[in-house]
Amino acid sequence: MLRSVPPIIEFFTKMASAIFTLLIGKLLYDETNSLWAFATASGGEFIIVTIIQLAAGALADRHAPTKILIVINALCMAVFILLAFIYHWAPTVGLLLAAGIVYVFRPLYRTSLFVLVRKMVATNDLRAVNGQIASASQLGQIIGFALTGIILSWTSEVAVFYLMALIYGFCLLLSTFIYYRQDVVQLAVTSSKKELLNWADFVQFSKGHHAFIVRLASSLSIAISLGGFYVLIAPLVTAKFTDNSQWLSWLSVSYALGATISGILVKKSEQFLKVLSSDKLLMINQIISATTFLCCGLLNQLVWLPILLFCFGVTTTLAAVSLSSYLQTVALSGVMGRTSAIQNIFIAAGNAGVAFFCAWIFNWSFNAAAIGLGLLILFIMCLFLLVFRRYPESTHSDSPSISN
């Protein structure tokens, strides 16, 4: 079925992203042995994402998202082939080139896929497809991390670059397949002049839909909790599990397994999820994530932590899927790309902010960083809870006029 192609693309591109992230992280940690290097990299990505997203949103609204995906995959494939050839002569320049390409195209990819799913999938099926995409994302990340370690232990970085080029090449074929399906081309390319809106229209739309912009901003809270997990997981293993690398795998897989299973079961849980709004799912997720970090900071015996991380993974995926489906349903078609762009800026801000926050408090101790993060999540949760009550969720027909 054609709608299964976006989750497949997400799986492979997330695999490539995980491979590159792990490789960059390893090189940074080997050089500095500090969380500040990771924070600096996250901050740099936030700046790039913020600048690029403003253009990415407009591009995805005005051009076929399939065309954008084709261009991104083709350029990424070419860049990593080039990097494999020049790495031995100019490793630093090559890695900077690859990092720049990945950071620049990542927001374009996210925004285009967000718009493509909305155009391809019926409203009633959005949660199911977004759940499949979330599961594919987690599974791709797991396999990407595993492949990177195996390849680096057997060969070298160059083999990793060739693997990434192969992955992007396969995604290029999938994107081309979607583009040449006539029924999707008509949906993705044809748009009336009424739908060709600009950033001023997005601002005007947001002013009239406070519930929409509040939920859009709530992406920040999910990014903070998930970003904090990725920042603190390595120090957690060192501080609480005697630096046992097996526990690093157990903890990572526990979270990812929960995220993957919940995404797969979204369709089967459709009736149950209708009872829980995206607001309620987000609050549940934030309570579990805050509990997780507080336990990591306050307790020493954490053999049961994989169970809590499994629940963290389940609720994170359900909250993210429900939120994305809500935004895709409420936003005007002509500002769908801009909606994704602003959401991605919030996500990048959350990732960068929590990286700097954890790095700063980590100067005292791991326990201080974990407790501080847990309290921060609770504080942000309370703020959004108050705003959610002030502006409850609303539905939207996808076709209102924008007042001038």
Is residue 25 in a domain?
A: yes
Is-contact 138 316, C-beta < 8 A?
Answer: no
Give the pLDDT confidence score for residue 382 in this predicted structure: 94
The yes-or-no verdict on residue 184 having pLDDT over 70 is no
CATH code for the domain in which residue 217 is found? 1.20.1250.20
State the virtual CA torsion across 197, 202, 208, 212 in degrees, nearest 10: 120
pLDDT at residue 44 tops 90: no
Average pLDDT over residues 358-379: 92
Residue 162 lies in a domain: yes
**pLDDT at 191 exceeding the cut of 90:** no
Q: Rank 21-35, 71-85, 201-215 by mean pLDDT and report only the highest.
A: 71-85
Is position 297 within any domain? yes
Average pLDDT over residues 383-395: 84
Q: Residue 294: pLDDT band by 50, 70, 90 thresholds?
A: very high
Classify residue 399: in a domain, yes or no: no
The band of 380, judged by pLDDT with boundaries at 50, 70 and 90, is very high
Mean pLDDT of 157-177: 88
Q: Which long-range contacts (CB under 8 A, 24 or more apart) does 193-198 make?
A: 194/334, 195/61, 195/332, 195/333, 195/334, 196/61, 196/62, 196/334, 197/61, 197/332, 197/334, 197/335, 197/402, 198/58
Which residue has 């970003």 as its token pair?
227
Q: Is residue 192 part of a domain?
A: no
Three-state DSSP class for residue 362: coil
pLDDT at position 394, please? 65
> What percentage of the chain carries pLDDT values higher than 70?
71
pTM over 0.85: no
- Residue 71 within a domain: yes
d(CA 239, CA 365): 9
Helix (H, G, I), strand (E, B) or coil at 60: helix
CB distance 250 to 306 below 8 Å: yes
**Which range, 37-41, 111-115, 207-211, 237-241, is most confident?**
237-241
Q: Are 373 and 350 in contact (CB under 8 A)?
A: no
Number of domains in the chain: 1
Residue 397 lies in a domain: no
**Burial readout 207-231 (b: 16 or more C-beta within 10 A, e: otherwise):** eebebbbbbbebbbbbbbbbbbbbb
Over the chain, what is the mean pLDDT?
A: 77
* Confidence category of residue 43, pLDDT binned at 50, 70, 90: low
- Predicted pLDDT at 267: 60
Give the single-character DSSP code of 87: T
For residue 23, give its domain range: 2-184+197-390
Instruction: Flag the least confident range among 148-162, 212-226, 268-282.
Output: 268-282
Angle at Cα 251 formed by Cα 149 and Cα 259, nearest 5°? 95
Considering only residues 124 and 84, tell me which one the structure prediction assigns the higher pLDDT. Answer: 84
Has residue 133 been placed in a domain? yes
Angstrom CA distances, 40 to 7, 150, 203, 354, stand at: 31, 27, 31, 11
Can you tell me the mean pLDDT for 33-50?
Answer: 59
What's the pLDDT tens digit per position in 89-111?
Answer: 876 666 667 766 776 777 778 77
Helix/strand/coil (H, E, C) string of 258-277?
HHHHHHHCCCCCHHHHHHCC
